[in-house]
Amino acid sequence: MRHTQEPKQRGIKKSLLLIFVFFILPVGCSNPYMMYYNDGYASYEQGKFDQALVFYTKAIELKPESYEAYNNRGLVYSEIGMFNEAIADYTKALEINPQCALACYNRAVAWYEKKNFNQAIADYTKLLEIDPDDPDAYLNRGIIWQEQGKYEEAIADYTRALELNPESADAYFNKAVICEKLGRTSEAIEAYTHFITYASSGEKGIETVKEALKKLKK
């Protein structure tokens, strides 16, 4: 007898967001803040995180109101698993610029990594007040709702994510898993079918989904 794996929810989009402000310095221009900021960005891109921390810290010392530098240093802290320090930097960036959507997104991801789901949901909700058309914010908040067993809230967020990004394979997949669990067969079939359409070639889980579809269509 062949055993098939049940489809399982897909994880949160953890891609953290760097504020790209690369300053082009005129010949002969000496601006230490800009130089440290640029060096921090370049070091991050090269995976030299300890070096990036030093440069961003120097940039912050020279320009304490730079929310971009705080966000980016927070990103470096997140990359090396120092989430408390990252959250402190994202929070400072948001104190300086309450409309900084990137810092809000990054802080939500950091809260999620610390398994503080209520704070993560609060930040995704705040982010959606800043940018109501961010499909990843809806997707990630939906994932947290789903993990907490709040399925209707999750479905609502996945549905909105798909309105904003109709090719989101992850949103289709997670919505289908919930609908299947709730016995909403036609919705599950539709969502799994869309997942197969939009999933990347060679995507893991496609065969599992095809097996699930066969069972649902019986």
Model confidence pLDDT, tens digit, residues 122-143: 999 999 999 999 999 999 999 9
Report pLDDT for 15. 54
Q: Say whether 20-99 and 1-12+117-218 share the same fold.
A: yes
By the 8 A CB rule, do 91 and 63 touch?
Answer: no
Report pLDDT for 203. 80
- pLDDT above 50 for 93: yes
Q: Which of 3-7, 34-38, 84-88 has the lowest mean pLDDT?
A: 3-7
Report pLDDT for 6. 43
- pLDDT above 70 for 14: no
Q: Does domain 20-99 have CATH number 1.25.40.10?
A: yes
Domain definitions of the chain by residue range: 1-12+117-218, 20-99
Percent of the chain exceeding pLDDT 90 equals 77
Model confidence pLDDT, tens digit, residues 154-190: 999 999 999 999 999 999 999 999 999 999 999 999 9
Q: Which of 106-110, 119-123, 207-211 has the lowest mean pLDDT?
A: 207-211
Average pLDDT on 68-90 reads 96
The topology under which CATH files domain 1-12+117-218 is 1.25.40
